[in-house]
Amino acid sequence: MRAIFAALSISLVSLPALAASAWIGVLSESAKSCEGARIQRVLAKSPAERAGLKPDDCVSSIGYRAVRSPRDLRAALDGVALGEPVNVRFIRAGRVESASVSPAARPSELEIQRSQLIGQLVPNLDKVEWVSRGGGPTPRATIVAFGASWCGPCRMAEPGLLRVHDRFRVQGVRLVHMREDPRDIASAFAATEPAGLAVASDDRGEMAAKFFVFSLPTFVVVDQNSRVSEIIAGFSPDFETRLSATLSTILPRR
């Protein structure tokens, strides 16, 4: 699939998928104002957060290796011992500073996503490019379904997703389709869906990045307090059962 974080020119700072690869837990990007790698986001509870790194810091070196881009930042972690402090030099507000960071083993993509989202307020959906907003009263739970027209597993999951929504809709469950497609393709998808469902175009992957979506399909379940309760990544034979069980657990008792 097309890498969602790459679509935003954002790179997860870790080595490629190797066992025990070093990881500090930041998202970085190239920027005209930064001759190194500009930190776009520092992940909660990560080595970078513990070391005091912040968004907008411009990383110029890690250890003895110069950093000129997000690619360099990833490469600089190659061979760094896990748990061993490494000096990270960066520019903050025009001043050269440094921090001692102790890289950890890179978590799985789902572990990263769960650590950043479970129990947290859902990212604001108001500014997405809506194709159809749907309707109805304030939901008691929401399923945010990330998918795309080119995603085969998304098509496989769709019938079960609609069955779950149909089963729980009377209890106040809202279904939001977040499509990694241009507006015209998202509109064509909306035309094939039951009336009243919310569909949005997230062609640039901006909302997917906020939800830390690494693969499609991904289903994020949000409770009535707008907090993320569960994440189901990918399609599996028990997908429908798992989604139904999650909704049964979080829906208010009548």
How far apart are alpha carbons 105 and 201 in whole angstroms? 35
Q: Do domains 4-105 and 109-250 have the same CATH topology?
A: no
Phi/psi of residue 159, nearest 5 degrees: -60, -45
109-250: what CATH class?
A: alpha beta
Boundaries of every domain in the chain: 4-105, 109-250
SS3 state at 197: coil
Q: What local confidence, expressed as pLDDT, does residue 69 receive?
A: 94
pLDDT at 167 over 80: yes
Q: What local confidence, expressed as pLDDT, does residue 138 receive?
A: 87
Q: Nearest to residue 214, comparing CAs of 55, 31, 6?
A: 6
- What are 125-165's pLDDT values in tens digits? 888 899 998 877 889 999 999 999 999 999 999 999 999 99
How far apart are alpha carbons 162 and 153 in whole angstroms? 15
- Architecture, CATH, for domain 4-105: Roll (2.30)
Q: What local confidence, expressed as pLDDT, does residue 85 receive?
A: 96
Q: What local confidence, expressed as pLDDT, does residue 254 receive?
A: 61
- What are 222-232's pLDDT values in tens digits? 999 999 999 99
Averaged pLDDT for residues 31-50: 94
| Confidence at 196, pLDDT banded by 50, 70, 90 | confident
Q: What local confidence, expressed as pLDDT, does residue 137 receive?
A: 83
- What are 78-87's pLDDT values in tens digits? 878 999 999 9
Q: What local confidence, expressed as pLDDT, does residue 24 receive?
A: 96
Q: Taking the alpha carbons of 27, 212, 122, 184 in that order, is the dihedral positive or negative?
A: positive
pLDDT at 1 over 60: no
Give the chain's mean pLDDT.
Answer: 89
pLDDT at 28 over 50: yes
H-run or E-run covering 177: strand 173-179
Q: Taking the alpha carbons of 57, 63, 67, 70 in that order, is the dihedral positive or negative?
A: negative
pLDDT at 2 over 80: no
- For the residues of 82-94, what is the DSSP string, one character each? TTS-EEEEEEETT
Whole-model pTM: value is 0.79
SS3 state at 230: strand
